[in-house]
Structure 1
Amino acid sequence: MTEDSPTTLDAALRARRERVNEAIDEQLPVQRPERLYEASRYLLEAGGKRLRPTILLLTAEAVTGTAPMDADYRSFPDVDGTPVDVLSAAVSIEVIQSFTLIHDDIMDDDDLRRGVPAVHREYDLETAILAGDTLYSKAFEYMLQTGAPAERSVRALDELATTCTHICEGQAFDVDFETRGDVAVDEYLEMVELKTAVLYAAAASIPAVLLGADDETVDSLRRYGRSVGQAFQIQDDLLDLTTPSDELGKTRGSDLVENKQTLITLHAREHGVDVDSLVPTDDVEAVEESTIEAAVAELETAGSIDYAREAAVDLVEQGKAELQVLESGHARSLLEDIADYLVERTY
């Protein structure tokens, strides 16, 4: 990884994450009805790396050549010098992410998220649904508050709307795959692209749209986000099996218990592993750590863990190659480093 001189990559990410957190506090205050907005902010306050909005801010820096120490993200100069509020766009992306997590936890009936009770557990099902819907609609409000020229704002809104549609399509595929034993790798990668990677693609391409970059740059950044987003999901699938529950923030091995199709299980099936028998229960709370350990050992023996890791690394390399469209510099280096981090992280 390239160092973020004079600070580390971690420090660079932390600085931008703090700006996003401050903006969330400004733009999503607790107001009447208080319970709704408390629930809407609940996961946002529980933590999160803010990777997607950080990628958005770094892309803005890379597209315009603006140094981070000079960056006022609320009044960020576009290619013509006109100020654009890219921080509002970053908040928009992050609240969409939180909306998807709330609804995903409801659909999977998960108990934990980011180490705390899921929103529908902490509050109730009705409030959780409304909180997710509120975040979804707020995202479009925030994207309209950037002050970018009307044509670019409309294009960014179109990108956000299409992204949300794709996320729902990907989730529908994911649900369908739970009842199928014949899912192909290409189908899985399409599902991952729709469910997860498109939001990374939006985070990378929308600032380029708002700031007036050319179409080649926008398209390359979208491909960067899509590739690293797919890698992120594959790494998530790996971490679900290899990271203890207290570090993971949810029950370890829940994907296996819920019969989620992943690149790991698809490879294992192709190599003779009876994946359905690895965890003989559909109750996440009842599964024992030793059962998951044994399942992981069998998947490792089949080469499925290494296969998924190599696939994620390949996708990251594809994504980083797309950054050649940008001028070399500090922000581009950080975008390359974030891509590496997505498959090196341990939680």
Structure 2
Amino acid sequence: MKMGVGKYDELFNRIKERAKLVDEKLFELIPEKEPKVLYEAARHYPLAGGKRIRPFVVLTATEAVGGNALKAIYPAVAIELIHNYSLVHDDIMDMDETRRGKPTVHKVWGINMAILAGDLLFSKAFEAISRAEISPEKKAKVLETIVKASNELCEGQALDLEFENREMVSIEEYMRMISGKTGALFDASAKVGGIVGTENEEYIEALSRWGRNVGMAFQIWDDVLDLIADEEKLGKPVGSDIRKGKKTLIVAHFFENADEKAKEKFLKVFGKYAGDVKGKGIIEEDVKAEVMEAIELLKEHGSIDYASRIARELVEKANEALNVLPESRARKDLELLASFMVEREY
């Protein structure tokens, strides 16, 4: 995610400041201790960086409804732990070899220890909730919200795995999948912040809607960037989703609008170059040329523009939901963060 210059400068500084507060409590919950190998594996992704966007949303949402952000620190840490647990398990399922520029947990410690590290991060999230300095009633609501999001996250991931075995998915199916896989945890982040900060149900539901729409826009924009971003900034080959045969909103739109000839041409490339092509007698430059032709087909059918528009509409819908909240710097930060989701370059 580009932490650039201009209108987002102050927002990025506040994200960094909040990340320090979150990390202090995060590493308090996952310290260096025995069994050393388990805790090293569990600390691997949190230590590798990450912007702590979801915890920032928790803390900022609390302030946006007039609450004290410090009361939301442990719930924010719980969300970050759930996020990191999902990354560990996602990487095992996808057999990815790098994350945040470092080897994945299962690559370093093996699959069995990686599964355990993910499980530990998940259980530590509930320990974090137990430490929150809020009323038992609010604690129960926070717990209920995070459990629901965790369920949805698993359901979204299951759909994503199921999609791998199908030739195509519909736009509606894709939207349902990302609502769980990325929308649910952003929804929970904003909603948890609201629960900590206020009793006003209208405010809490507004934050929930903001989070769901922002999370979905974030995922769709990721899919767009895979096809249009600068390769160096992206940190992976442009069109890697096409190489892997990943079912995205862009691809779903293309298959709902293209003729048979265009589909046939696209399918000659789609999913044919998953993994490393070296040593398979395939020339990388030839693969790139074929992938670029596939991207051109998506452009010609308006599929990339369609996904970009949907992402921006989701951000507009998200920020409209915040209109019921009083004006404040915190509300403005949430609006800016949503806008940034569809303006970032990687």
One-letter amino acid of the structure 2 residue matched with residue 62 of structure 1: A
Secondary structure, in 3 states, of the residue corresponding to 1:200?
helix
Q: Call closer, same or farther: CA 1:243–1:35 in 2, change over 3 Å.
A: farther
One-letter amino acid of the structure 2 residue matched with residue 276 of structure 1: L
Q: Call closer, same or farther: CA 1:208–1:2 in 2, change over 3 Å.
A: farther
CA distance in 1, matches of 2:300, 2:174: 22
- Partner in structure 2 of residue 297 of structure 1: 296
- Partner in structure 1 of residue 344 of structure 2: 345
Q: Is residue 283 of structure 1 aligned with residue 274 of structure 2?
A: yes
Give structure 1 stretches of 5+ with no counterpart.
74-83
Alignment map for 1:117-156 (pairs within 5 Å)? 117-156=103-142
Q: 2:21 aligns with which of 5, 19, 22?
A: 19
8 Å contact kept, 1:267–1:304:
yes
One-letter amino acid of the structure 1 residue matched with residue 267 of structure 2: D
One-letter amino acid of the structure 2 residue matched with residue 309 of structure 1: S
- Partner in structure 2 of residue 227 of structure 1: 213
Q: Call closer, same or farther: CA 1:311–1:102 in 2, change over 3 Å.
A: same
8 Å contact kept, 1:254–1:284:
no
Give structure 2 stretches of 5+ with no counterpart.
278-283
Per-residue CA deviations over 1:227-273 (Å, capped at 9, x if unaligned) read 01100010111223334565435555343233221111011112224
One-letter amino acid of the structure 1 residue matched with residue 330 of structure 2: A
Per-residue CA deviations over 1:265-316 (Å, capped at 9, x if unaligned) read 0111122242432346243211644443333222222211111111000000
Alignment map for 1:138-287 (pairs within 5 Å)? 138-243=124-229, 247-249=233-235, 252-272=238-258, 273-274=262-263, 275-279=266-270, 281-286=272-277
**TM-score, with length taken from structure 1:** 0.89
Per-residue CA deviations over 1:56-101 (Å, capped at 9, x if unaligned) read 11111111166xxxx6x2xxxxxxxxxx3x1111111111111111
CA distance in 1, matches of 2:28, 2:236: 29
Q: Call closer, same or farther: CA 1:280–1:316 in 2, change over 3 Å.
A: closer
Instruction: Quote how far apart the aligned CAs of 1:46 are.
Output: 1.2
Instruction: Quote how far apart the aligned CAs of 1:16 are.
Output: 1.5
Q: Call closer, same or farther: CA 1:111–1:253 in 2, change over 3 Å.
A: farther
One-letter amino acid of the structure 1 residue matched with residue 329 of structure 2: H
Per-residue CA deviations over 1:123-164 (Å, capped at 9, x if unaligned) read 211111111111111111101211211111111101111110
CA distance in 1, matches of 2:82, 2:205: 21
Instruction: Quote how far apart the aligned CAs of 1:13 are.
Output: 1.8
Secondary structure, in 3 states, of the residue corresponding to 2:182?
helix
Larger CA deviation: 154-163 vs 246-255:
246-255
Secondary structure, in 3 states, of the residue corresponding to 2:342?
helix
Q: Call closer, same or farther: CA 1:277–1:93 in 2, change over 3 Å.
A: same
One-letter amino acid of the structure 2 residue matched with residue 284 of structure 1: G
8 Å contact kept, 2:60–2:193:
no
Q: Is residue 116 of structure 1 aligned with residue 102 of structure 2?
A: yes
8 Å contact kept, 2:65–2:198:
no
Identity of aligned residues (%): 39
Larger CA deviation: 280-289 vs 26-35:
280-289
CA distance in 2, matches of 1:252, 1:112: 16
CA distance in 2, matches of 1:281, 1:30: 43
Alignment map for 1:59-70 (pairs within 5 Å)? 59-64=61-66
Q: Is residue 56 of structure 1 aligned with residue 24 of structure 2?
A: no
Secondary structure, in 3 states, of the residue corresponding to 1:8?
helix
Instruction: Quote how far apart the aligned CAs of 1:2 are.
Output: 9.8
**TM-score, with length taken from structure 2:** 0.89
Q: Is residue 46 of structure 1 aligned with residue 34 of structure 2?
A: no
8 Å contact kept, 1:40–1:132:
yes
One-letter amino acid of the structure 2 residue matched with residue 141 of structure 1: E
Alignment map for 1:30-109 (pairs within 5 Å)? 30-64=32-66, 73=70, 84=71, 86-109=72-95
8 Å contact kept, 2:97–2:103:
yes
One-letter amino acid of the structure 1 residue matched with residue 147 of structure 2: A
CA distance in 2, matches of 1:239, 1:130: 33
Secondary structure, in 3 states, of the residue corresponding to 2:57?
helix
